[in-house]
Structure 1
Amino acid sequence: MRTKKQKAFLIAKIVSVFFVLVIVGLFVFRDALLQKTLVSISRKMEQDFNSSFSVKKAIFVGVTGVEMDDVLLVPKNADTLFRIENIKTRISFWHLLTGTIRLESLDAKNGYVQLVKNENGRNFDAFLLKKKDSTNTGDKPNYAKLAYRILNRALNLVPTDMRLENLSLRMNDMGHKSTISLQKLELVDKKLESSIQVQTNTFNQRWKIKGIADPRNKQTDIRFFNIDTGKIKVPYFDERYNIKSSFDSIRLNVSNIDMDNGELHIDGFTSISNFTVNHHKIASKDVVIKNARFDYHLLFGENFIAVDSSSTVLLNQIKVNPYVSYTNETDKIYTLKMTIPKMKAQDFISSLPEGLFTHFKGMEANGNFDYHLDFVFNKNKPNAVVFDSKLNKENLQITKYGEANIDKLNGEFVYRAIINNVPQRPILVGSGNPNYTPLSRISPYLRKSVLTTEDPSFFSHKGFINEAFKQSIVKNIRTKKFSRGGSTISMQLIKNVFLTREKTLSRKLEEILLVYIMENNKIVSKERMLEVYFNIIEWGPNVYGIGEASSFYFQKSPSELTLNECLYLANIIPSPRKFMYQFNSEGNLKSFAVNRDKQLKRLMMRRGIIVSEDTIYQMPILITGSARSYIKTKVEEVPTEIEQPTSIEEFDF
């Protein structure tokens, strides 16, 4: 009888012999298996992707090495997608036995990936991710496991020993061409170094990538910078989207990728220096961020993805702690929390990106502040959006204004509207202009009507209406575009007097900050804001201020306007240059405009702004001023220039 020890030894011997036989079998038949695998790949490419895949020569080198020559992938009736002259690779044998492919080394030279879009379509369409079947199985992905699996597969394909030579990425998007040529890349003993040539229709540059890459320990620290003088320019986007961007250097660091208690943690940082971007939707000039850094702590759970609040964003001297998350445990919920810890107001002003806040240049301030934003959007319950914004001040005071001197609203000044980047005629805002109308001489009906349509809570809010912001966010998310702004009279006033009508990120951010400064520092009284607003807004083509508008439409002074006339004037504020299309061939308001004015009247009565006695003896409006020449009646009249009650050309502007 054999002892247990002898039996165990015998089993171990049998297993060893078995593995030896398997290894020998694989070694003997490996070339046949390799050819069979390549044939299988070729068939799959043809069947699933309508593409031709071929390898001119493929052989094993050593025990686990493979060498291939002239590897080619060509979609049917399209430009070549991928080609490489020679590739040598060595894989981990033991990982292969467990069904995992891990590259130990890679040598490749003379090849390219080519992405082409022309009148015949795109040569890579067949390889894009297909839309999933609309049938809902009810299964939810485990984000932690999914992300960890993808990362592991990707890192296993990064060899610890790599040499690449003369490889390129070519892009041709309807004639917008860019080529990024990897002239040389070496990864030896975790040290990575490469030289890259970039060529587009507009520039040529040489880049360098240098640093440490350790795929097995899931760590990297690399830096991109320009070998030549000047900054690195970002290719393709300048021609395709008219976005011009550049930077001195970018650093990317990944210090930790770890799966712990079902959660995936990814830690590291990325930084960029002297980043410059120019696009007409951002600002009218270059926007420059001198130094920016993002220390990130990413979390992936079973049903959530998050940027942890321990992450830090540094923008020059501005420090921000963000928290961003998406969860689908029950509902699909998007969360954004942002905190700016206590900092000096002057440091904040000095750290604003150049070109993005031009009206703040030269501004000085004392004191400190901290800021907190809490935003939650539930896609399944969109009307329950949370938007809470708080700024805490500590002896905060503006001591010197920049280009936008808000205090000028308290005195006499000259206003010029800007339409399509063209300054309009000057309007003197003050008693020196005979058309200027103090608030006390404007019909109370007009004040009430305009406040109802434009900003009902004007006298109680501090420049912003949280509920309007919430509804604006909900509508913008639903329509997937900026279709609603939630603008108050304070915001309209700042936009008209100090800013332009251009729809840029810069203009909107400046508007928000200037309104906050004006309202929260009580620089201008509410009554003065409303008075200036009535005297500068556009009421018709080349008609500015209520003094000109009253004469233009009704040949009256603003104090003589009737309720119906005020309802009409309040309702044309959004599109004053198109007022004439609201009238029929008899010169009377069309039914839709009449009903619109009636709805406003009923709303004001429900809110107690007017009473039933106010509506007695109200006649339909009759256009008697020079505005009548713009209305197409049965007897055609030739439009004449707007009669300006008094010319102000005598003022030296």
Structure 2
Amino acid sequence: MRTKKQKFFLFLKIVAALLALLLGGLYFFRDSLLQQVLRKAETKFEQEYNCQFSVKQANFNGLSEVELHNLILVPKNADTLLAVRKIKTSYSLFELFTGDLQLKNLEMNHGFIQLVKNKNGRNFDAFLKRDNEEKATEKRHYAKLAYRLLNKVLNLVPSEMQLDNLSLRMDDMGRKVVLHLNDLRLENHQLQSEIQVKTNTLVQHWKISGFADPRAKKADLKFFSGDTTKIQVPYIDERFGLKSSFDNIHIKLDKLEMESGELHIDGFTSIENFTLNHPKIAKKDVVIANARFDYRFLLGRDFISIDSTSSAQLNHIKVKPFAEYNTEEDTIYRLKVAIPKMNAQDFITSLPKGLFTNFEGMETEGNFDYQLDFAYNKNKPDDLIFDSKLNKENLRITKYGAANLAKLNGEFTYRAIENGVEQRPILVGAANPNYTPLDQISPYLEKAVLTSEDPSFFHHRGFINEAFKQSIVKNIRTRKFARGASTISMQLVKNVFLTREKTLSRKLEEILLVYILENNRIASKSRMLEVYFNVIEWGPNVYGIGEASQFYFQKRPSDLTLTECLYLASIVPKPKKFMWQFDDQGNQKPYAVKNQRFIKNLMLRRALITEQDTTGQSVPVYISGRARSFLKLKTLVDSTAADSLRFDPDEFDF
């Protein structure tokens, strides 16, 4: 009788014999098995993706190296998606059996991947369809899903690689981009690559070099130009009109691991001399000399986040960000931004060139720090949190840039800009006969405009937090900028110091200038309001209340009635369209009357006026000044012609 030890060795011998038999079978029948796999692939591509897949020649070299020749993938009635002359790769048999397949090396040459969109559709649509078997109601585990996908991608990146004469082509309705890979080598974890880029508008030579270890999930790569020019980002200039370029990008991945059910992704990305140009951003090139993002992404069962240990740097400005998307109970978006204590002058000089032109040349003293706390619950939008705080330390401006805010306190010349063209000069001062001091403007007008435009003007510091919150909520709900939160301070800065262009640059400058104006008490509230009344547009080529009161009513601003003031307040948002409030008889339309009644009732409720003030004020608005020529009135000739067409039986003798 065999002992336990003998039985164990006998078992090992049987297992070894079976493995040898299996490996022998695999070796002798490997080419047949490969052909069978390819036939299944051909069938799957045809049935599931309506594509023709073919390999002219396929064979094994040894037991774990596969060589394929002339691969072609062509969607039905569409352009070829993939064509490669030769692919050679190897893998581990053990990994093949365990299902964790990792490519050991890869050689590929003479081929292309081609993405085409034309009037007939896209040649890659079939591969974008969703899996119908996926349960839509099943909650995703973000960490596991991301880790599984990233692992699959990294496992397909071989540890050794040699690619020659390969191209990635894209044709989007005639907008063509070709990335031609002349040579790529990955040996001993060192990556070197040369890429020729060609579009309808440029030809460039790019290089990629650095460290890459897909098995250890680490990389340290630099992307830069192969000649003396900056790298220009292709396609987006033709597609979106956005021109962008940079000197180099540095990308490093230090960690990609699952720990206690959470996925940690650590590393950094930096860019030098990043340049943007788009009419919606700014009038000129926006240049960021140096930017860096040291990131730590955390993914769990119910959340995706940028951890608070991450940091971002824009020139000398350092930022500590935290962002999270959480679905544990409700769908919640969180954002926290902190700028640690820094020198104010370093902040001014670090602002991107071209984005804050009015701040160029500004000089400051002192320090500051800043915190932003934002949270939005998709199911409870009214509970939005928006808390913005700036703490100052001996902060003051010693020299202004292009926007000299101090000029508000004296006499100056104002020129409105329409479509980039300067309008006639308006002198803001006593030498202008139309200039009207605040105490010579009807109190009704001041109260009506404040009620309509900015009720808390004399109490806020440039921004109304609650209005800002409501604006954010509405814009998120509608998924567009459907509502602003503009105060009189913001309108004043926009009119006096900025253009009317609708750009990101102009809006950012407006916010910063308003903050500086209001929080450094550069001008009093009364002075700001007085300048506001004397520079804003009240109609076509009508600037200031002195011109407006004559243009509409042939009066001085001090003589305006409550009804006339309510009318003037109602046209401030759209002064050039005032004529559409009136019908062909010169009477205000019902919606305009209703709007002015609403403003009046608000003034009554807030005790800004009394019932006695409204006595005798029910008379309709009558435009008597030059503005009447802008109304679309029925003329006397029209009335006479209409009367002549009427049938009068007394004119005829029967």
Same fold (TM over 0.5): yes
Query: Runs of at least 4 residues of structure 1 off by over 6 A?
Result: 131-135
**Aligned-residue identity in percent:** 63
Shift of 1:436: 0.6
SS state at 1:299 partner: strand
Partner of 2:463: 464
Query: In 2 relative to 1, CA 589–293 (structure 1 residues): closer, same or farther, beyond 3 Å?
Result: same
* CA displacement, residues 23-73 of structure 1 (integer Å, 9 cap, x when unaligned): 222223222222122122222222222211111111111111111111111
* CA displacement, residues 408-427 of structure 1 (integer Å, 9 cap, x when unaligned): 11111111111111211111
1:490 equivalent to 2:460? Answer no
Unaligned runs of 5+ in 1: 639-653
Partner of 2:528: 529
Query: Contact 1:166–1:184 at 8 Å: present in 2 too?
Result: yes
The residue type equivalent to 1:517 in the other structure is: I
Partner of 2:148: 149
SS state at 1:513 partner: helix
Cα distance in 2 for residues equivalent to 1:424 and 1:161: 66
Number of aligned residues: 637
What RMSD over aligned residues (CA atoms) do the two structures have, in Å?
A: 1.4
Partner of 1:620: 620
Cα distance in 1 for residues equivalent to 2:158 and 2:461: 59
SS state at 2:294 partner: strand
Query: Contact 1:326–1:332 at 8 Å: present in 2 too?
Result: yes
Query: In 2 relative to 1, CA 560–133 (structure 1 residues): closer, same or farther, beyond 3 Å?
Result: farther
Query: In 2 relative to 1, CA 135–559 (structure 1 residues): closer, same or farther, beyond 3 Å?
Result: farther
Shift of 1:136: 4.7
Give runs of aligned pairs for residues 329-478 of structure 1, distance below 5 A: 329-478=328-477
Cα distance in 1 for residues equivalent to 2:607 and 2:54: 81
The residue type equivalent to 1:244 in the other structure is: K
Partner of 2:309: 310
Cα distance in 1 for residues equivalent to 2:636 and 2:293: 66
Cα distance in 2 for residues equivalent to 1:367 and 1:133: 62
Query: In 2 relative to 1, CA 637–567 (structure 1 residues): closer, same or farther, beyond 3 Å?
Result: farther
Give runs of aligned pairs for residues 541-620 of structure 1, distance below 5 A: 541-618=540-617, 619-620=619-620
Cα distance in 2 for residues equivalent to 1:19 and 1:459: 87
* CA displacement, residues 305-324 of structure 1 (integer Å, 9 cap, x when unaligned): 11111111011110000001
Query: In 2 relative to 1, CA 271–500 (structure 1 residues): closer, same or farther, beyond 3 Å?
Result: same
Partner of 1:108: 108
Cα distance in 1 for residues equivalent to 2:578 and 2:496: 23
Query: In 2 relative to 1, CA 340–539 (structure 1 residues): closer, same or farther, beyond 3 Å?
Result: same
* CA displacement, residues 195-246 of structure 1 (integer Å, 9 cap, x when unaligned): 1111111111111100000111110001011111111111111111111111
Partner of 2:130: 130
Partner of 1:72: 72
Partner of 2:318: 319
SS state at 1:416 partner: strand
Cα distance in 2 for residues equivalent to 1:290 and 1:184: 31
Shift of 1:636: 6.7
Partner of 1:84: 84
Shift of 1:19: 2.0
Cα distance in 2 for residues equivalent to 1:541 and 1:523: 31
SS state at 1:426 partner: strand
Partner of 1:649: none
Cα distance in 2 for residues equivalent to 1:11 and 1:554: 109
Partner of 2:52: 52
Query: In 2 relative to 1, CA 425–636 (structure 1 residues): closer, same or farther, beyond 3 Å?
Result: farther
Shift of 1:633: 1.4
Cα distance in 2 for residues equivalent to 1:478 and 1:114: 38
1:514 equivalent to 2:500? Answer no
Cα distance in 2 for residues equivalent to 1:38 and 1:212: 34
SS state at 1:346 partner: helix
The residue type equivalent to 2:533 in the other structure is: F
Query: Contact 1:178–1:236 at 8 Å: present in 2 too?
Result: yes
Shift of 1:133: 8.3
SS state at 1:395 partner: strand
The residue type equivalent to 1:185 in the other structure is: L
Query: In 2 relative to 1, CA 376–133 (structure 1 residues): closer, same or farther, beyond 3 Å?
Result: farther
SS state at 2:25 partner: helix
The residue type equivalent to 2:457 in the other structure is: F
Shift of 1:129: 4.3
SS state at 1:512 partner: helix
Cα distance in 1 for residues equivalent to 2:84 and 2:15: 41
Query: Contact 1:263–1:300 at 8 Å: present in 2 too?
Result: yes
SS state at 1:425 partner: strand
Query: Contact 1:318–1:351 at 8 Å: present in 2 too?
Result: yes
Query: In 2 relative to 1, CA 135–565 (structure 1 residues): closer, same or farther, beyond 3 Å?
Result: farther
Shift of 1:461: 0.4
* CA displacement, residues 388-409 of structure 1 (integer Å, 9 cap, x when unaligned): 0000000000000000000011
1:12 equivalent to 2:9? Answer no
The residue type equivalent to 1:567 in the other structure is: L
Query: Contact 1:629–1:637 at 8 Å: present in 2 too?
Result: no
Partner of 1:218: 217
Unaligned runs of 5+ in 2: 639-654
Q: When the two structures are superposed, what TM-score results if normalisation uses the length of structure 2?
A: 0.96
Cα distance in 2 for residues equivalent to 1:637 and 1:327: 70
1:97 equivalent to 2:92? Answer no
Cα distance in 2 for residues equivalent to 1:106 and 1:136: 37
Shift of 1:4: 2.5
Give runs of aligned pairs for residues 177-256 of structure 1, distance below 5 A: 177-256=176-255
Cα distance in 2 for residues equivalent to 1:510 and 1:134: 48
1:30 equivalent to 2:21? Answer no
